[in-house]
Protein backbone atom coordinates (compact mmCIF):
# COMPACT_ATOMS: atom_id res chain seq x y z
CA UNK A 1 0.00 0.00 0.00
CA UNK A 2 2.81 2.42 0.81
CA UNK A 3 4.11 2.14 -2.77
CA UNK A 4 0.84 3.75 -3.91
CA UNK A 5 1.06 6.77 -1.58
CA UNK A 6 2.82 8.97 -4.17
CA UNK A 7 0.14 8.04 -6.73
CA UNK A 8 -2.64 8.77 -4.24
CA UNK A 9 -1.15 12.15 -3.36
CA UNK A 10 -0.64 13.09 -7.01
CA UNK A 11 -4.16 12.09 -8.02
CA UNK A 12 -5.72 13.86 -5.02
CA UNK A 13 -4.03 17.18 -5.78
CA UNK A 14 -4.61 16.78 -9.50
CA UNK A 15 -8.35 16.22 -9.08
CA UNK A 16 -8.96 18.53 -6.10
CA UNK A 17 -7.53 21.61 -7.81
CA UNK A 18 -9.92 23.76 -9.87
CA UNK A 19 -10.91 22.47 -13.27
CA UNK A 20 -14.16 21.86 -15.15
CA UNK A 21 -15.42 19.13 -12.79
CA UNK A 22 -14.72 21.13 -9.62
CA UNK A 23 -16.34 24.25 -11.07
CA UNK A 24 -19.42 22.43 -12.38
CA UNK A 25 -19.98 20.35 -9.23
CA UNK A 26 -19.59 23.38 -6.95
CA UNK A 27 -22.04 25.34 -9.09
CA UNK A 28 -24.44 22.38 -9.17
CA UNK A 29 -24.30 22.01 -5.39
CA UNK A 30 -25.09 25.72 -5.00
CA UNK A 31 -27.75 25.70 -7.68
CA UNK A 32 -29.55 22.40 -7.09
CA UNK A 33 -28.39 21.22 -3.67
CA UNK A 34 -26.32 18.21 -2.71
CA UNK A 35 -28.97 15.52 -3.22
CA UNK A 36 -29.77 16.52 -6.82
CA UNK A 37 -26.03 16.69 -7.58
CA UNK A 38 -25.37 13.07 -6.50
CA UNK A 39 -25.84 11.57 -10.02
CA UNK A 40 -23.33 14.13 -11.32
CA UNK A 41 -20.86 13.17 -8.56
CA UNK A 42 -21.16 9.44 -9.24
CA UNK A 43 -20.92 9.98 -13.02
CA UNK A 44 -17.72 11.99 -12.62
CA UNK A 45 -16.19 9.41 -10.26
CA UNK A 46 -16.98 6.55 -12.64
CA UNK A 47 -16.01 8.53 -15.74
CA UNK A 48 -12.56 9.51 -14.44
CA UNK A 49 -11.98 5.90 -13.41
CA UNK A 50 -12.71 4.75 -16.95
CA UNK A 51 -10.40 7.41 -18.43
CA UNK A 52 -7.65 6.41 -15.98
CA UNK A 53 -8.12 2.74 -16.89
CA UNK A 54 -7.93 3.27 -20.64
CA UNK A 55 -4.88 5.47 -20.10
CA UNK A 56 -3.29 2.62 -18.15
CA UNK A 57 -3.78 0.20 -21.03
CA UNK A 58 -2.22 2.57 -23.54
CA UNK A 59 -4.97 4.71 -25.10
CA UNK A 60 -3.43 7.83 -23.59
CA UNK A 61 -0.17 7.10 -25.40
CA UNK A 62 -2.08 6.92 -28.68
CA UNK A 63 -3.64 10.34 -28.04
CA UNK A 64 -0.29 11.94 -27.24
CA UNK A 65 1.29 10.31 -30.29
CA UNK A 66 -1.42 11.71 -32.60
CA UNK A 67 -1.38 15.53 -32.36
CA UNK A 68 -4.45 15.82 -34.61
CA UNK A 69 -6.46 13.61 -32.25
CA UNK A 70 -5.28 15.66 -29.28
CA UNK A 71 -6.29 18.88 -31.04
CA UNK A 72 -9.71 17.43 -31.89
CA UNK A 73 -10.26 16.51 -28.22
CA UNK A 74 -9.22 20.04 -27.19
CA UNK A 75 -11.67 21.62 -29.65
CA UNK A 76 -14.55 19.38 -28.54
CA UNK A 77 -13.70 20.01 -24.88
CA UNK A 78 -13.47 23.75 -25.40
CA UNK A 79 -16.82 23.94 -27.19
CA UNK A 80 -18.53 21.81 -24.53
CA UNK A 81 -16.99 23.84 -21.69
CA UNK A 82 -18.01 27.12 -23.37
CA UNK A 83 -21.57 25.82 -23.78
CA UNK A 84 -21.67 24.96 -20.06
CA UNK A 85 -20.24 28.40 -19.22
CA UNK A 86 -22.96 30.02 -21.32
CA UNK A 87 -25.63 28.10 -19.41
CA UNK A 88 -24.14 29.10 -16.05
CA UNK A 89 -23.93 32.73 -17.17
CA UNK A 90 -27.62 32.67 -18.10
CA UNK A 91 -28.75 30.81 -14.96
CA UNK A 92 -31.61 32.64 -13.31
CA UNK A 93 -32.70 31.50 -9.86
CA UNK A 94 -36.05 33.22 -10.24
CA UNK A 95 -36.90 31.41 -13.48
CA UNK A 96 -36.28 27.71 -13.03
CA UNK A 97 -37.58 25.76 -15.98
CA UNK A 98 -37.92 22.11 -16.90
CA UNK A 99 -34.62 22.37 -18.77
CA UNK A 100 -32.82 23.78 -15.72
CA UNK A 101 -31.43 20.59 -14.21
CA UNK A 102 -28.15 19.25 -12.94
CA UNK A 103 -25.94 16.98 -15.02
CA UNK A 104 -27.27 13.46 -15.28
CA UNK A 105 -25.10 10.45 -14.48
CA UNK A 106 -24.60 9.73 -18.20
CA UNK A 107 -23.75 13.35 -19.06
CA UNK A 108 -21.15 13.43 -16.28
CA UNK A 109 -19.58 10.16 -17.47
CA UNK A 110 -19.50 11.31 -21.10
CA UNK A 111 -17.99 14.69 -20.25
CA UNK A 112 -14.90 12.96 -18.87
CA UNK A 113 -14.01 11.75 -22.37
CA UNK A 114 -13.35 15.33 -23.44
CA UNK A 115 -12.23 16.72 -20.09
CA UNK A 116 -8.62 17.71 -20.78
CA UNK A 117 -7.70 18.02 -17.11
CA UNK A 118 -8.67 14.41 -16.41
CA UNK A 119 -6.66 13.21 -19.41
CA UNK A 120 -3.63 15.26 -18.31
CA UNK A 121 -3.73 13.96 -14.74
CA UNK A 122 -4.31 10.37 -15.92
CA UNK A 123 -1.44 10.52 -18.42
CA UNK A 124 0.89 11.91 -15.77
CA UNK A 125 -0.24 9.35 -13.20
CA UNK A 126 0.84 6.46 -15.40
CA UNK A 127 4.44 7.25 -14.39
CA UNK A 128 3.57 6.10 -10.84
CA UNK A 129 2.48 2.64 -12.03
CA UNK A 130 4.85 2.19 -14.98
CA UNK A 131 6.39 -0.96 -13.49
CA UNK A 132 3.05 -2.78 -13.43
CA UNK A 133 1.56 -4.82 -16.25
CA UNK A 134 -0.98 -2.88 -18.37
CA UNK A 135 -4.02 -4.57 -16.79
CA UNK A 136 -2.67 -3.90 -13.30
CA UNK A 137 -1.95 -0.31 -14.31
CA UNK A 138 -5.50 0.08 -15.54
CA UNK A 139 -7.02 -1.43 -12.40
CA UNK A 140 -4.78 0.58 -10.04
CA UNK A 141 -5.43 3.85 -11.84
CA UNK A 142 -9.19 3.24 -12.15
CA UNK A 143 -9.59 2.39 -8.46
CA UNK A 144 -7.42 5.30 -7.34
CA UNK A 145 -9.07 7.89 -9.58
CA UNK A 146 -12.66 6.79 -8.89
CA UNK A 147 -12.23 6.50 -5.13
CA UNK A 148 -10.42 9.80 -4.70
CA UNK A 149 -12.70 11.66 -7.09
CA UNK A 150 -15.78 10.44 -5.27
CA UNK A 151 -14.47 12.16 -2.14
CA UNK A 152 -13.31 15.26 -4.04
CA UNK A 153 -16.63 15.68 -5.83
CA UNK A 154 -18.58 15.12 -2.63
CA UNK A 155 -16.51 17.82 -0.92
CA UNK A 156 -17.11 20.37 -3.69
CA UNK A 157 -20.84 19.57 -3.96
CA UNK A 158 -21.24 20.03 -0.19
CA UNK A 159 -19.22 23.26 -0.37
CA UNK A 160 -21.49 24.50 -3.14
CA UNK A 161 -24.66 23.56 -1.28
CA UNK A 162 -23.39 25.35 1.84
CA UNK A 163 -22.42 28.34 -0.26
CA UNK A 164 -26.01 28.58 -1.44
CA UNK A 165 -26.93 29.85 2.04
CA UNK A 166 -24.85 32.95 1.31
CA UNK A 167 -26.50 33.47 -2.06
CA UNK A 168 -29.59 34.98 -0.48
CA UNK A 169 -30.49 37.45 -3.21
CA UNK A 170 -30.52 37.45 -6.99
CA UNK A 171 -27.50 39.75 -7.27
CA UNK A 172 -25.31 37.44 -5.16
CA UNK A 173 -26.57 34.44 -7.10
CA UNK A 174 -25.81 35.99 -10.48
CA UNK A 175 -22.35 37.08 -9.37
CA UNK A 176 -21.52 33.56 -8.18
CA UNK A 177 -22.82 31.87 -11.34
CA UNK A 178 -21.02 34.36 -13.55
CA UNK A 179 -17.76 33.83 -11.66
CA UNK A 180 -18.19 30.08 -12.23
CA UNK A 181 -18.96 30.72 -15.92
CA UNK A 182 -15.88 32.93 -16.32
CA UNK A 183 -13.74 30.29 -14.62
CA UNK A 184 -14.94 27.77 -17.23
CA UNK A 185 -14.20 30.20 -20.06
CA UNK A 186 -10.73 30.74 -18.64
CA UNK A 187 -10.15 27.01 -18.47
CA UNK A 188 -11.24 26.55 -22.10
CA UNK A 189 -8.74 29.21 -23.17
CA UNK A 190 -5.95 27.51 -21.18
CA UNK A 191 -6.44 24.38 -23.29
CA UNK A 192 -4.71 26.05 -26.19
CA UNK A 193 -1.81 27.68 -24.35
Higher-pLDDT residue of 109 and 31 is 109
- Round the CA-based radius of gyration of the chain to a whole number and report it: 17
If you average pLDDT over residues 25-52, what whole number do you get? 96
Residue 124: predicted pLDDT:
86
Give helix then strand counts, H and E, for the chain. 9, 0
State pLDDT tens for residues 79-127: 888 998 998 898 876 555 556 789 999 999 999 998 888 988 998 888 8
Q: What would the mean pLDDT of 56-70 be, rounded to a whole number? A: 79
Say what the pLDDT of residue 149 is.
Answer: 97
Whether the pLDDT of residue 130 is over 80: the answer is: yes
Q: Quote the Cα angle for 190-181-113, to 5°.
A: 60
Contact assessment for residue 44 and residue 108, using Cβ atoms and an 8 Å cutoff = yes
The residue ranges of DSSP E strands in the chain, in sequence order, are none
| pLDDT at position 174 over 60 | yes
Nearest to 180 by CA among 73, 48, 94, 90: 90
Amino acid sequence: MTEFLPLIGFVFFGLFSPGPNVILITASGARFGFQRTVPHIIGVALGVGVIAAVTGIGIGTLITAQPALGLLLKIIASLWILWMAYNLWRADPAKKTETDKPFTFVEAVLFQWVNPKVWAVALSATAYVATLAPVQQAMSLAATFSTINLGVCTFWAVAGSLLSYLLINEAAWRIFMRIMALALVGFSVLLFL
